[in-house]
Chain A
Amino acid sequence: MDRQPVNASYHGSMRSRDSSSTGSDAREKIKDCFRKFVAFMFTQVGVGALVVCYAILGAASFMHIEKDNPDEQLQHVRKWRQSCAEELWNITVANNIFNETSWVLKVDKVLKVFQNNITAAVHTGYNGRSPEDIWSFPAALMYSLSVFTMIGYGNIIPKTIWGKIVTIAYACFGIPIYILYFCNMGKVLAQTFKWLYITAHECSRRDDAVFEEGEIIPVKRKITVPSTACLWVISFYILTGTIMFGAWEKWNYLDSTYFCVISLCKIGFGDFVPGANISDSAGGSHLKLVINFIYVLLGMGLVAMCYNLMCEDVRVKVRELKEDLKNCLDDITLKITVCMNDTKHFHQKQSRHVK
């Protein structure tokens, strides 16, 4: 999506208002402020704030919908456990207590049934905690984030009908907002990075001056940011995430790297999610979830920046590749037709010889 930047230059509006009378109207000032605010909202920072507000709004609504849902699965599991205990008791009562092997066999069968029930329950979303535990505010925030950034961790999922419908609607509106954020953030970061790169480049090459007609004119070359620089930035960010999550979650470094890459690539399996493990209590994991939220959001911005910077590069290279491929194909077809003509002439010569 290459679109023209939607830049509202409120500096321009300020300049145009210079001549107007500032003395009298406070209302004018308020209107001016309001206009500037709207212009600011249309800029990139405004879009970022919009995304955060949307996530918070989503978190609040999902929490409200899902928290008070009486989870039937907990009751089911409790029922199964009781019936399993009943059966075990019956076995113990019925059998001769000194016959260990047959007792163990029967118990094994009962346990297997219990195991299959629990497994089926886990596959339908049971994870041993009640909805009040699961749907804390940071967890709901992470959930909203994973919906509109299309990561989709899946460690927390909506179980109610309303939850699912609201998820679909939330995604329908959230994904365009996110794409807008992605493009804008990518553009801003790409410009910043290009500026940084060019200043660093120029600083290091300040002695390169060209004498032209007695004047010293610094060489103005068109500098493009190479793709490798972008890759370095992303690698550094993943390294930061690895160290951070490795230290906090006590994952090993491979697992942390794996988590960072899977999140930033928007795959999001959900097997590793910081602060949302089953064994974690609700207390200390709130801060971790918020930091994870910020990390993922910023990481998406960096990915957008790399996409922006590498896009031109890749496009040029792909075009060159296609040209090369086309020339290659042309050569091959030419060779084939020449070969066919040669064999035809050869056969004609042969037949003339025979005659």
Chain B
Amino acid sequence: MPRRKRRLASRIRAYIRGLLSFLFSNVGVIVLVVAYTIAGAFMFQAIEGESEMERMTHMALERNNTAENLWQNVTLALNLFNETAMKERITIELIHYQKKIVFAVRHGWDGGRSSRQWSFSSAFLYSLTVITTIGYGHLSPRTNWGKVVTILYTLLGMPLFLLYLTNLGELLARWFKCIYALVCHCRGCPGFTKRRAARFRQQLDISDAESIERPPHWKSGYLDSDCTPEYRIPPNARDFQRRPDYFRSASMPQPWERREALPAQPRGWSEPLAFRTDSEGTSEFSYVTFDAQTITVPISVCVCIMVGYIIFGSMLFGMWENWDQLDGAYFCFISLSSIGFGDFVPGERVYTPRIETSFIACSMYLMLGMALVAMCFNLMQVRLYKILKIFVFEVKLLMRLPTRLR
């Protein structure tokens, strides 16, 4: 009885530990980034909102001045029936006014739309573009305090966003490898591995400290598997320490993964372990412990994912913003590569009551998109590095330069 309680206690402890570390590393970072952006939105709205009101009144004043000038200089001064001369004067006055408008708009004035430029959702998009270093520029700080706060906000926010990207990129890469292995190789979902490992554990009799979970029906060998891809059992449980959870790089294979022992024969997962004898040695263990993390995803798949996401974005924003397909794809590409010109920004040209949701939708699209880009980099980096090394090696060989064999 006390043994079961001890097992239960250790199970609970391990579960809580796993949950908390998962929260702190992945979900926590997302929440932190969103909270930081929201805080930034409030801050910038407070700082820049007042100066926006000033600029609006300033432009109204300009318009009145122009009307006054027209009245004074043009209508009163000239002979009323000389049409061409009067039109010329009017045109000169209008050119002045036009230059003033262009200057004001390019320096942040909105053109008098009834929605405020620094509303909450546009300030949210602004904060997001600052920490992702996209930097559209359709909205930029005009007050001195706004500029100082932008600088400080950048310096803190960029490392935070990089952390978000690395964490999320790793997590997504791990899941994607799991899915890819499942789809393309018909093996490798670690739920199967856990079942196998449970049966294997039964034979090896591993101590409590090393097992994560001991479900009540473990003797029967079947347990509900939840896909926790990082759980693996090492070939010899006594010699190897348990793989640390969640903080590992998913793309680098661990030293005890024996890739050459992976079987080429397409055996199905339904083969029961109990039929194997112990004498079959380590190849059996490596078959049992097939890990989806050891496969490399081809580059074309990553490129397809990115292109698909860009097309999805272009369709979505093209529908909402009345952009044509090329403009939508151009916008998505320029935003996701963090270039961010700012010539196309959702909600800038078409003024609809849906402008607030446009900004929020754009922000979510950007956050998810950058995570996908990070995931693709994570997946591609091993392959790209290998290709680059081979290329350099070949070129050096061709040029008969001294090559360094690694």
A residues bordering B, Cβ < 8 Å? 1, 3-4, 6, 8-10, 12-13, 16, 35, 38-39, 42, 77, 81-82, 84-86, 88-89, 92-93, 97, 100, 103-104, 107-108, 111-112, 114-116, 118-120, 122-128, 146-147, 150-154, 157, 161, 164-165, 167-168, 171, 175, 254-255, 257-258, 261-262, 265-271, 278, 322, 325-326, 329-330, 333-334, 336-337, 341
Contact = CB atoms under 8 A, between A and B. Distances in A.
Contacts of A330: 17
A96 to B, nearest CB: 11
B107 interface: yes
Given A127-B106, A271-B140, A333-B17, A152 B154 contact: no
A12 B343 CA distance: 51
B283 interface: no
Given A115-B63, A152-B134, A167 B330 contact: yes
Interface stretch (B34-42, B145-153, B226-234, B253-261): B145-153
* Most chain B CB atoms below 10 A, which of A103, A128, A161, A257: A128
A25 B341 CA distance: 55
Contacts of A42: 392, 395
A98 to B, nearest CB: 10
Interface in B245-285: 247
Contacts of B129: 267
Contact of B135 (A10, A89, A268, A325): A268
Interface in B317-354: 326-327, 329-330, 333-334, 337-343, 348-349
20 contacts: A12-B401, A35-B400, A38-B399, A85-B90, A88-B70, A89-B87, A108-B63, A116-B111, A119-B101, A150-B133, A152-B339, A154-B342, A171-B333, A268-B135, A269-B137, A270-B135, A278-B103, A326-B21, A329-B21, A337-B9
Given A97-B75, A257-B151, 12 more contacts: A12-B401, A81-B91, A81-B98, A88-B70, A111-B67, A115-B97, A119-B110, A152-B342, A154-B341, A167-B334, A267-B135, A333-B20
A103 B385 contact: no
Contact of A120 (B63, B111, B134): B111
Nearest to A95: B75
Interface in B270-319: none
B112 A115 contact: yes
Given A111-B97, A118-B102, A265-B133, A89 B341 contact: no
B211 interface: no
B26 interface: no
Main secondary structure, interface of B, reads helix
A150 B338 contact: yes
A300 to B, nearest CB: 12
Contacts of A104: 67-68, 71
B333 A81 contact: no
Given A10-B401, A81-B91, A128 B99 contact: yes
B205 interface: no
Contacts of A118: 98, 101-102, 105
Contacts of A4: 389, 406
Using C-beta atoms within 8 Å of the partner chain, give the interface range for chain B. Answer: 35 or more
Given A269-B140, A278-B103, A152 B151 contact: no
B214 interface: no
B133 A261 contact: no
B94 interface: yes
A114 B87 CA distance: 16
Given A97-B75, A268-B135, A108 B147 contact: no
B80 interface: yes
Contact of B137 (A38, A153, A261): A153
A88 B71 contact: no
Contacts of A1: 381
B396 interface: yes
B309 to A, nearest CB: 15
Interface of B: 9, 12-13, 16-17, 20-21, 24, 59, 63-64, 66-68, 70-71, 75, 80, 83, 86-87, 90-91, 94-95, 97-99, 101-103, 105-108, 110-112, 129-130, 133-138, 140, 144, 147-148, 150-151, 154-155, 158, 247, 326-327, 329-330, 333-334, 337-343, 348-349, 381, 385, 388-389, 392, 395-396, 399-402, 406
B77 to A, nearest CB: 12
A103 B396 CA distance: 81
B228 to A, nearest CB: 18
Contacts of B86: 89, 92
Interface centre among A42, A86, A341 (most CB of B within 10 A): A42
A202 B381 CA distance: 39
Contacts of B99: 128
* 10 cross-chain pairs, A with B, having the tightest CB-CB distances, nearest first: A119-B111, A267-B135, A152-B339, A269-B137, A154-B341, A270-B137, A154-B342, A12-B402, A122-B105, A269-B140
A154 B71 contact: no
A163 to B, nearest CB: 10
